[in-house]
Structure 1
Amino acid sequence: MKPEARSPIIRTVARWILGAFLISAGIAHLTWARAEFLAQVPDWVPLDADFVVIASGVVEIALGAALILLVRFRVIVGWVVAAFFVAIFPGNISQFVTQTDAFGLDSDLARGVRLLFQPVLIVWALWATEAWKYRPFVRNPRREEH
């Protein structure tokens, strides 16, 4: 099999894995890890912490399902998932700055390493959905020719 032929398969599997990860994380928000997620909601968020945990869990489940099921809309879903990862990044920064222990992240090193993985998730979402290829904010000379 040529490398070009394998690429769509690898991207599809990567999209499914990311979708499954999001669904699992969303379910964890609503069930067994709720207290851990509550500990991560920064004090400066102007909403009830439990509402934030429940709402973000529902959003994660919806985004995970969209990654897996909405193949036709994968580019849009990829941008939305990437934006979601950007939106929750301040909570991870807050956990590091306030030295909040959650999910076994009980040291500055562990919390710092976690921060490094957030950009990986953003890139993963954009790559697996091919959203990076279709950047709406980049001028495409071919579109202007027609």
Structure 2
Amino acid sequence: MDFWRSGARWLLAALLAAAGISHLTWGRRGYRIVVPDWARRTTGLSKDAIVIGSGVAELLLAGAVATIPRERSVGWLVAAFFVAVFPGNVHQWRTGRSAPLLRTDRARLTRLFLQPVLVVWALWANR
């Protein structure tokens, strides 16, 4: 079981790192487009700042997942992050806005159903 958990943890760290890098580099403009206006109003931040903050958070979480093995609190932090960004994913699906790798309604809807899988993955891999 440790083998599978370790592999799942490293894969999760790689996924978070790739997402973080894309938020800070090549995908940044595309992610700004899908940030809901209510997120900007609620936080008082620009859409760009929200995208940058999300990318930084993903990189920090990737580092925590990779360097702090079998720590439940890390799993809970990653799961909380996935829950926190879910309303933005719903907004993206409802408005039909494209983002990197999510250019069709089918892809956006599939992404919604994958979100709970990511939450469970984060909790399972980090316990």
Alignment partner of 1:100: what SS? coil
Deviations 1:54-107 (A, max 9, x none): 1110010000010000126x2100000000000000000000111111224333
Q: TM-score, normalised by structure 2?
A: 0.92
How far residue 17 of structure 1 moved from its aligned partner, in angstroms, is 0.6
Whether 1:94 aligns to 2:121 is: no
Whether 1:123 aligns to 2:117 is: no
| CA distance in 1: counterparts of 2:25 and 2:102, whole angstroms | 20
Structure 2, unpaired ranges of 5+: none
> Residue 17 of structure 1 is aligned with which of 11, 15, 18?
11
Deviant stretches of 4+, over 3 Å: none
The 1:116–1:128 alpha-carbon spacing in structure 2 relative to 1, beyond 3 Å, is: same
1:56-71 → structure 2 map (5 Å cutoff): 56-71=54-69
CA RMSD of aligned residues (A): 1.1
Match of 1:40 in 2: 34
Q: Identity of aligned pairs, percent? A: 51
Q: Which amino acid aligns with 1:57?
A: G
Q: How many residues align?
A: 123
Higher relative contact order (CA 8 A, sep 6+): 2
How far residue 43 of structure 1 moved from its aligned partner, in angstroms, is 1.2
Q: TM-score, normalised by structure 1?
A: 0.80
Which of these two proteins has the greater Rg computed from alpha carbons? 1
Structure 1, unpaired ranges of 5+: 1-6, 131-146
